[in-house]
Chains A and B, each alone.
Chain A
Amino acid sequence: MFPLIVAHVFVLIVVASVAFHFWSPWWWTEVASNWGGMDDTIILTF
């Protein structure tokens, strides 16, 4: 029974963190220079 609970908690953490990524209250300021490529390299790690 215990492994089943731990497995469910793990799945919940993954789902919650991905959901938080999309619904978090923080956002990037709109880029104002030619360095939009820097944003792309960060998005890539996601």
Chain B
Amino acid sequence: MAWCIWRYRYQKDRKAEYKPEDKKLEWNLTWITTLGVAALLAPGLVVWKDYVTVPKDAMPIEVVAYQWGWKYRLPGEDGVLGKTDIKFINDENPFGLNFDDPNSKDDLLVDGGDLHLQINKPVKFELRSIDVLHNFYVPQFRGKMDMVPGMITFYWLTPIRTGDFEVLCAEYCGTGHYAMRGRVIVDEKNDYNNWLAKQITLEKMLARNKKNNKSYELVKNTQ
């Protein structure tokens, strides 16, 4: 462009040529632009295909977003998350768990604590929101996805290094949006299993609450 400004500058004895149409030039520009845009976009589509193709051995982890924080639910030994429904959500059952679903009995509930992941183990985040749009984003993991009330969206990843990472909400969700943070800690296998052993299952929690003559109450994670 700089060269054209100099080369075709105004000169008294020179006159611009009137050439409103040039089919050959237009076709060439169209093809070159098309190929350029396709070359930039195609690699993204290859990565996107990986992103939406969840490996079979990925462990499901539910992330529940609310104004303004994060809760997590992990499958127990059965590897399956119990069913939930919006109609079950209330102050005593903030996850909206279906207590009648046998798969939910050994689910591990992490409310108010950090999420731990095991290094080199693929996980599938199943994302729910109980109020407005949110977005589960850990910058170091690169991936993110909107959380839409009434839907379960998902993405997967494999952590490749241990560390302590910050979770951000990446979709404006009200006045507390900036403070909607969390922590994800990627552990070696032993540390991860130690953390896992400290988490409480739904069944144990219900039994304990019954014993204490309390209704359903989530115990804050002290981690």
Contacts and interface: CB of A to CB of B under 8 A. Distances in A.
Interface residues of A, number: 23
B16 interface: no
Given A34-B158, A44-B40, A44-B43, A4 B6 contact: yes
Contacts of A11: 2
A40 B43 contact: yes
B150 interface: no
A42 to B, nearest CB: 9
B159 A32 contact: yes
Given A4-B6, A7-B6, A40-B43, A32 B1 contact: no
A30 B165 CA distance: 11
Contacts of A4: 6, 9
A33 B2 contact: no
A34 to B, nearest CB: 4
Q: Is the interface of A mostly helix, strand, loop or mixed?
A: helix
B140 A31 contact: yes
Contacts of B163: 32
B2 A32 contact: no
A44 B5 CA distance: 29
Contact of A41 (B2, B5, B10, B43): B43
Contacts of A36: 142
Interface in B1-21: 1-3, 5-6, 9-10
A32 B47 contact: no
Nearest to B40: A45
B186 interface: yes
Interface in A5-27: 6-8, 10-11, 14
B135 to A, nearest CB: 16
Given A38-B47, A38-B142, A41-B43, A33 B160 contact: yes
Interface of A: 3-4, 6-8, 10-11, 14, 29-41, 44-45
Q: Top 4 nearest A-B pairs by Cβ distance? A: A3-B9, A32-B140, A10-B2, A35-B142
